[in-house]
Amino acid sequence: MKLFLKIWRQENAQAKGQMVDYTIDGIDPNMSFLEMLDVLNEQLVAENKEPIEFDHDCREGICGTCSLQINGQPHGPDRLTTTCQLHMRKFKDGDTIYIEPFRAKAFPVVKDLVIDRSSFERIQQAGGYVSVNTSGNTIDANTIPVDKESADTAFDSAACIGCGACVAACKNASAALFVGAKISQFANLPQGQVEATQRAINMVNQMDAEGFGSCTNTGACEIECPKGIKLTNIATMNREYIKATTKG
């Protein structure tokens, strides 16, 4: 396959950055998208040029680092797929492909396609956990009975890998789906009830402090989420927040 690539290049966080055109040939349709970028980088290194920085780690859809906006969609045209799971057979020979970093005020570009997603970490630190005594006499979580439906719902929410595609897809750069998933994961379990009030308030406050936009229910996040996190997680977050504020 021969492809025409338009890729965002940016020297560092302060630099201005721009789209740069590349042509690449001999791409195997069975390659993953990241492998295609590897090939391009080898080509650039051979030409003594600076390779393109992009994030990746597991390359099997679990770590959530491989975040690229491909042809205007986070993680590319496939549904329920991360960039690392996207194959080149989804494109046609001679296609032009736009590759950009996820864009949000709260996701500043570090270099080229690499963004800083520590805003997600800070939201998690604000309440995305349950406090457990780990002094040696930790009680097994399974001793607390959980009904199947709640366990399944919590598990579905816990599938979020924190990739940021929801923010990237949203016209408001809202992190509501991510925060909704992290809040719902605990809201559906008895272990999460103890800190439910503080969790909802602190995580929502942190989300706002990071500069994410607000949810206008467009649903782009749900469609682009590689882990199938449902919009209902946002309704749960709203409910948890309202409950928390009227309580405390």
Partner 1 sequence: MGRYLNTTVAKKFAMGLSGLFLVSFLLMHVTVNFVSTVSPSVYNSLSEFMGYNFVVQLLLQPILVIGVVFHFVMGMVLEVNNRKARPIGYEKFDKSSNTTWMSRNMIITGIVILLFLGLHMYDFFFPELAYKFGNGYDAAQVPDFYTGLVAKFQDPIRVGIYVLSFVFLMLHLLHGFYGSFQSIGWGDRNSRALKGFAKWFSILVPLLFIYIALFHYFGSL
Q: Which residues bind ligand FES (CB under 6 A)?
A: 56-59, 61-66, 82-84
Based on CB atoms, which residue is closest to ligand FES, 127 or 226?
226
> Shortest approach of ligand FES to residue 229 CB, angstroms?
15
CA 85/CA 146 separation, integer angstroms: 33
Residue where the block lists tokens 């270099």 = 111
**Burial of residue 124, with CB atoms counted within 10 A of its CB: 0-12 exposed, 13-18 middle, 19 or more buried:** middle
Footprint (CB under 8 A) of partner 1, residues 47-76: 69, 71-73
Report residue 85 as tokens. Answer: 């799971």
CA 221/CA 231 separation, integer angstroms: 8
CA 107/CA 72 separation, integer angstroms: 17
**DSSP assignment letter at 174:** B
Q: Is 41 in the site for partner 1 (CB under 8 A)?
A: no
Report phi then psi at 32, rounded to 5.
-85, 165
CA 104/CA 167 separation, integer angstroms: 7
- CB under 8 Å to 246, separation ≥6 — which residues? none
Q: How many CA within 13 A on the CB side of residue 102?
A: 34
CA 178/CA 234 separation, integer angstroms: 9
Q: Is 33 in the site for partner 1 (CB under 8 A)?
A: no
Based on CB atoms, which residue is closest to ligand SF4, 5 or 165?
165
Based on CB atoms, which residue is closest to ligand SF4, 40 or 234?
234
Q: Which of 3, 36, 113, 169 binds partner 1 (CB under 8 A)?
A: 169
- Which region, judged by CB under 8 A, interacts with partner 1, from 35-43, 53-61, 133-141, 233-241? 233-241
Footprint (CB under 8 A) of partner 1, residues 78-107: 98, 100, 103-106
Q: Which entry of ligand SF4, ligand FES, partner 1, none binds 219, CB below 5 to 8 A by partner kind? A: partner 1
- Which region, judged by CB under 8 A, interacts with partner 1, from 24-32, 41-49, 54-62, 199-207? 199-207
> Shortest approach of ligand SF4 to residue 64 CB, angstroms?
6
Rg (CA), the chain: 20
Q: Which entry of partner 1, ligand SF4, ligand FES, none binds 166, CB below 5 to 8 A by partner kind? A: ligand SF4
Q: Which of 92, 79, 93, 76 is nearest to 34 (CA)?
A: 76
Q: Which entry of partner 1, ligand FES, ligand SF4, none binds 63, CB below 5 to 8 A by partner kind? A: ligand FES
Q: Is 211 in the site for partner 1 (CB under 8 A)?
A: yes
CA 132/CA 125 separation, integer angstroms: 15
State the residues that interact with partner 1 by CB under 8 A.
6, 8, 19, 69, 71-73, 77, 98, 100, 103-106, 169, 171-174, 201, 204-205, 207-208, 211-220, 223-224, 231-232, 234-242, 245
